[in-house]
Amino acid sequence: MRFWKLILTFVLNPALKVSVKGRNMHYNIIKCYLVLTFSIFFFGISNAQYIGEIGVLGGVSYYNGDANSTTPFVENHPTIGGLFRARINSRSVLKLDLAKATVSGNTENFDNKFPDDQQAKFERDFWDFGLQYELNFFKFGTQSWDKTIKCHTPYVLIGPGMAIYQESDKNAYAFHLAFGVGYKYKFLDRFNIGIEWSMRKLFRDDFDVTNSYNKFLDDPYNLGHSSIKNNDWYSLAFIYLSMDIIKKRGRCTELR
């Protein structure tokens, strides 16, 4: 503290004089240099940006498919996980998320009919892993020098991912395409809270087949298999709390 007080006193006190004229000029140059150095330093601190974000999430997961063709938020199950965001700019973000989820369905809860009046139910535990691109509706951040940046914004997301689960005592994978919407709010300089809902379109139709009793759910109407005809989906709806990490200092632009 004493060192910094001496530096500030030296820089800011104009009464400090040196009797030799050449030395006085030399000290004035040093003062100007120190003032410029401190200005750049404090400007960099005040405009520090965080390009990473890490957080936890919690919510519900549910299934749509042959055992639940239309209705959302039926047979909800708890979902927990984490997320990491990498900021591209104030409106574009890449996000990785990992969640432990469960889905289930029961054909008896709905009016649709299957051949031979078959009925089935299932439940599946799995891990969801996804990489999504998020587009903020507004510029999002805390930079006070940019009046167009807001502390809240809705956003949309899209991106690939996979579900990882056990099938016959070995790992199985179901790739998907996720898309959804969300809303985030920065309630402190480095802390964010948000809500998100997304749907996962699976590229296989047997995600709801867990045993021999519900095997007919894999193509129950004998329409054949294709990515277009596959109709197994699941959704995640959650709230999350996150903290900004990985500081990046702002860069001065050239004067033009």
From the DSSP assignment, how many helices (H) and strands (E) are in the chain? 2, 8
Looking at residue 11, what is its pLDDT? 43
pTM across the whole model: 0.72
Fold assignment, 49-248: Porin (2.40.160)
- Surface-to-core class of residue 57, CB atoms within 10 Å of its CB (0-12 exposed, 13-18 middle, 19+ buried): buried
Domains of the chain by residue range: 2-45, 49-248
Looking at residue 40, what is its pLDDT? 38
- d(CA 21, CA 186) in angstroms, rounded, equals 55
Contact (CB, 8 A) for 198 and 157: yes
Looking at residue 111, what is its pLDDT? 66
Looking at residue 172, what is its pLDDT? 93
Looking at residue 20, what is its pLDDT? 43
Looking at residue 19, what is its pLDDT? 42
- d(CA 123, CA 102) in angstroms, rounded, equals 7
In the numeric block, the tokens 């007080």 are attached to 5
Contact (CB, 8 A) for 232 and 208: yes
Contact (CB, 8 A) for 52 and 93: no
Beta strands at 152-167 and 170-186: parallel, antiparallel or unpaired: antiparallel
DSSP 162: E
With pLDDT > 70 as the criterion, what percentage of the chain qualifies?
A: 66
In the numeric block, the tokens 């199950």 are attached to 77
The 10s digit of each residue's pLDDT in 151-167 is: 999 999 999 999 999 98
Residue ranges in the chain modelled with pLDDT below 70: 1-48, 110-117, 143-145, 212, 215-230, 249-256
Looking at residue 239, what is its pLDDT? 98
DSSP E strands in the chain: the ranges are 49-64, 77-87, 92-106, 121-136, 152-167, 170-186, 191-202, 233-248
